[in-house]
Structure 1
Amino acid sequence: MRVVVAPDSFKGTCPAADAARTIADGWAGVRSDDEVVLRPMADGGEGTLDAFATAFPEATRMPVRVTGPLGLPVDAAWLLLPDGTGVVEIASTSGIELLAGDLRGRDASTLGFGQAIRAAVDHGVSRLILGIGSSASTDGGIGALTALGARFINAYDLSVPPGAAGLEELAKADLTRLRPAPSGGVLVLTDVTNPLTGRRGAAAVFGPQKGLDAGGVARADEGLARLASLLDADPDVPGAGAAGGCGFGLLAWGGRLVGGAAEIGALTGLPAAIEGADLVITGEGSYDGQSAAGKTPAYVAGLAREAGARIAVVAGRIADDADVTGIEAVSLTELAGSADAAMTDTRHWLQAAGERLAAAQGEDD
C-alpha cells in the first residue's frame, strides 16, 4: 500500500511533524513493507515551519532571538527554502502558546514576529511566506511593522506602547523608514477570514480569547479602526482581522492574504503526494462539526476523495457532531480510556492509532 500521513498539530500536546512521524511508526510496526509518505500539515499557525521543513529536507533553519509577546527574549527560527524563500511563523515568535496561560490582552505584541521577518529580509530572501495563526496579540500588526522600521506615534510625537494599548494612543503612522518587501512578494497564510473591525473583526471575535474584557474589546476595535484610517490597505479584505489584525498590517506592507491549509498543501506538494495513494491519514486534536468547514482535515480529506483514496482521521477526541461518513476514525481518548490519559502521553496513543489503522488494513487484505 501507499499511505500518506498528513495531520495537523495536536495543539498543546504534539506538533504536526511529530504526530505524522509517530503515526507512521505505529503503521510500520504492523505493515513494514508499505510505502508511507509524511506530509505534516498546518493552516498558517503552529507547525507551519515544520510542515515546510518536512516537505523540503534541504531547507535550513535560521536561529533568531526575538522579543516575545510579553517582552521577554524568545529563541526561535525562520526557515530558508532552497529557492531562497523565507518562511516565518507568528506562533513561535509572537504566539499565544508562548504566554503559558498568562494572557495579556492589552500588552501582547507582534514585535518578535516582525524581528524574525526583518532577519529574513536582511538575509536577502527572494520572497516571504508568513504564517499568522495562533497569535497572542490584538495590535493590528503595529509591533511587526515597528520591527521593520515603521513608527507609530501618539499625540505627543512619542512611540506608542506595545500591543492593543498602543492602538488606544495612536495618532500618526510614519512609514518613511519601513523596509521594502522582497521583490518576489509576501504570501500571508491565514486560518480565518475575518475583517479587521466590527462584530466579526479581530477584537470582537478573538479578543476575549487573548484576555480582553468587554471594555478592552471595544477600545481595541476603535484602535484598529484608527489604524485603518492611517494605513493604505482595505480593512475588509478576508483575513485582515487574522492574528489580531496583523493580517491588515501585512496587507499595508504589500502582503497577499491566502487560506493557510490549501496554500501550504499546494506549496509542499501534498496533492502530488496523494496521487496514487491507497489511504490518506489526517487528524487534529479535536475533530468536530466545525472540522468540515475549511479546517486542515477537511482540506486533506477533499484531496484524498479526488484521488480516489480511502480516508482515515486520528483525533484526540471525536465529537458527537463530527461527520465520519466514509471515514475510518480513531479517537485517542477512546484508545487511552480518558481524555486526560490521551493528553498525558499523546505520542504513545498516536502510535497505537497507527497500529490500529494498519491492523485494520491487514484484515481488509
Structure 2
Amino acid sequence: MAPDKFKGSLTAAEVAARVSAGLGVPAVELPVADGGDGTVDAAVACGFERVTAEVAGPTGERVAASYAWHPGDGTAVVELAEASGLRRLPGGPEPLTAGSHGTGELIAHAVRRGAKRVVLGLGGSACTDGGAGMAQALGARLLDAAGDELPRGGAALAALERIDMSGFLDLAGIEVVVASDVDNPLLGPHGAAAVYAPQKGAGPEDVRTLEAGLSRLAAVATRTHGLMGAVEHDDVVRVMGVAGAPGAGAAGGVGFAAMAFLHAEIRPGIDYLLGLLGFGAQVAGARLVITGEGSLDEQSLRGKAPVGVAQAAARAGVPVVAVCGRRSLTDAELKAAGIEAAYALTDLEPDPARCMAEAGPLLERLAARIAADHLAEG
C-alpha cells in the first residue's frame, strides 16, 4: 500500500491502514507524498522522527510546526505547508502579505540540529513572496532604498533595493533538495503570481502587484547576489537562469529562493520521496501495489503520487491498482499511466459528503473488491 492522502478526509497513513485492513492478506504499508501537504506525515509513518518547533505562520503569528528527522543519516524533511501553508492562515487569505518566514525557521532549526541533507517539500503555500521570508529567516537582509528591512509578503518586494547576505546561515556541506511536482518558472503567464496567486485569494490587481514584486526580487538578486569581479558575472548568470528554471515558481516562488540562495536542486517530488522512503526495497517480491489519492484526475497525470508510484512499480515488474475518492480519468488514461484499474468511493456511495465522512469503512469495502479481483488464487 503506497497511497497519498485523501485531502480533507484521511491521511496517507490512514488510507494505507484501511486498505490493509480490508484486504485480508499480508501487506506492507508505505504511505507516500509528492512534496505537498502530508509529506512530513508520510516520512514519520516510514520511520522518521517528528521534530516540532515554534515558528512564524504565514501572517506572523507563532505556530507549532513539524519536520521529519532521520538521525541515522542526518536527513531533515521540511514541508512548507507545515509553517507557511494555507491551512495555517488564522483567518481568510492574505495574498499580498503572507510570507514564508516560518519555513526558513524550520530549515534553520534542522541545520542547527546537525542536518546533512534538507529535503524541502513545496506545496499548499499561502504566500507569493518568492521565498523572501524564508531567506530572511535564514539571515538574509532584504533592504529598501533607505536601508530598512522589508516587511512580510510579496507586495513589499516592489521596494527591494539590496540583498545583504553577510549574515546568512552557513550551509556549507549541507545538501538541499527541493521536492516538487511543479515546473512553473518564477515570472510570466505561467509564473507563480499568474497561475497560483489566484488560488490564494489574489484578484487581478493583486496578481499584477505580486508579479511586480517577484520581478523586482529577481532583478535585485541578479544585480547583488554573489561575489565580486568576474566571478560575480558567473553568479549573476546563474541567478538569472534560476528565475526561468522549471520549478522556480513553486510555492509562490519559494523554489526560486531555494535555488538562488540555498543552491538547492529541484527533483520531481514523488520520485525523490519514493527513494527516500525506500519504496524499491519494500516493493521487491510484492504481488500487487495499491496506490491512490482523493481525486484521480488530469492533475494526477502531471507528476502526482499515484502515477509516480505506478512508474516505480513498473520498474520492479509489479502490477498497480489505485483507490480514490472519485475519478475522472478513463480506463485508457489509467492504463497509459501504468494503473491497471481504479476503485473509487463513489462506486459504492454516490453522495460526496458521505464519501468524505465514511471514507475509512468505504475503503475497506473497496479493498475487499481488490482482493477478490487481483489476489484471489485457485
Whether these two folds match at TM > 0.5 is: yes
Alignment match, 2:61: 72
TM-score by length of 1: 0.92
Range 320-329 or range 150-159, more displaced: 320-329
Once the 2 structures are TM-superposed, how far is the Cα of residue 363 of structure 1 from its aligned partner?
4.7
Report the AA paired with residue 324 of structure 1: L
Matches within 5 A, 1:8-157: 8-27=4-23, 31=24, 34-55=25-46, 57=47, 59-81=48-70, 82-99=72-89, 102-157=92-147
Is contact 1:288-1:321 (8 Å) kept? no
**1:44-69: per-residue Cα shift (whole Å, max 9, x none)?**
111111222223x2x32111011111
What secondary structure does 2:188 align onto?
coil
Structure 1 Cα separation of the partners of residues 201 and 56 of structure 2: 20
Structure 2 Cα separation of the partners of residues 318 and 295 of structure 1: 14
What secondary structure does 2:182 align onto?
coil
Residue among 225, 246, 249 paired with 1:241? 249
Report the AA paired with residue 258 of structure 2: L
Structure 2 Cα separation of the partners of residues 298 and 100 of structure 1: 34
Q: Cα distance 1:307–1:218, how it changes in 2: closer, same or farther (>3 A)?
A: same
Alignment match, 1:333: 346
Once the 2 structures are TM-superposed, how far is the Cα of residue 155 of structure 1 from its aligned partner?
2.2
What secondary structure does 1:309 align onto?
coil
Structure 1 Cα separation of the partners of residues 271 and 193 of structure 2: 26
Once the 2 structures are TM-superposed, how far is the Cα of residue 354 of structure 1 from its aligned partner?
2.1
What secondary structure does 1:188 align onto?
strand
**1:341-365: per-residue Cα shift (whole Å, max 9, x none)?**
1112322322332233223345554
Range 100-109 or range 233-242, more displaced: 100-109
Structure 2 Cα separation of the partners of residues 131 and 179 of structure 1: 20
Once the 2 structures are TM-superposed, how far is the Cα of residue 187 of structure 1 from its aligned partner?
0.8
Range 237-246 or range 333-342, more displaced: 333-342
TM-score by length of 2: 0.89
Alignment match, 1:281: 290
Q: Cα distance 1:78–1:22, how it changes in 2: closer, same or farther (>3 A)?
A: same
Report the AA paired with residue 284 of structure 2: E
Report the AA paired with residue 243 of structure 1: A
Structure 2 Cα separation of the partners of residues 356 and 227 of structure 1: 53
Alignment match, 2:232: none
Structure 2 Cα separation of the partners of residues 294 and 45 of structure 1: 12
Asked if 1:189 corresponds to 2:179, the answer is: yes
Is contact 1:152-1:159 (8 Å) kept? yes
What secondary structure does 1:208 align onto?
helix
Report the AA paired with residue 249 of structure 1: A
Range 246-255 or range 318-327, more displaced: 318-327
Is contact 2:296-2:329 (8 Å) kept? no
Matches within 5 A, 1:301-312: 301-312=310-321
Report the AA paired with residue 351 of structure 1: E
Structure 2 Cα separation of the partners of residues 336 and 98 of structure 1: 32
Once the 2 structures are TM-superposed, how far is the Cα of residue 100 of structure 1 from its aligned partner?
7.1
Report the AA paired with residue 344 of structure 1: A
Structure 2 Cα separation of the partners of residues 184 and 160 of structure 1: 28
Once the 2 structures are TM-superposed, how far is the Cα of residue 78 of structure 1 from its aligned partner?
1.6
Structure 1 Cα separation of the partners of residues 91 and 357 of structure 2: 18
Structure 2 residues not aligned, in runs of 5+: 226-238
Structure 2 Cα separation of the partners of residues 162 and 49 of structure 1: 25
What is the Cα-based RMSD across aligned positions, in Å?
A: 1.8
Once the 2 structures are TM-superposed, how far is the Cα of residue 104 of structure 1 from its aligned partner?
1.2
Structure 2 Cα separation of the partners of residues 261 and 141 of structure 1: 22
Structure 2 Cα separation of the partners of residues 224 and 23 of structure 1: 44
Once the 2 structures are TM-superposed, how far is the Cα of residue 230 of structure 1 from its aligned partner?
2.2
Once the 2 structures are TM-superposed, how far is the Cα of residue 309 of structure 1 from its aligned partner?
2.0
Residue among 310, 326, 334 paired with 1:324? 334
What secondary structure does 1:297 align onto?
helix
Once the 2 structures are TM-superposed, how far is the Cα of residue 163 of structure 1 from its aligned partner?
1.2
Alignment match, 2:213: 223
What secondary structure does 2:348 align onto?
helix
Structure 1 ranges of 4+ moved more than 6 A: none
Structure 1 residues not aligned, in runs of 5+: none
What secondary structure does 1:313 align onto?
strand
Once the 2 structures are TM-superposed, how far is the Cα of residue 107 of structure 1 from its aligned partner?
1.3
What secondary structure does 2:321 align onto?
strand
Once the 2 structures are TM-superposed, how far is the Cα of residue 172 of structure 1 from its aligned partner?
1.6
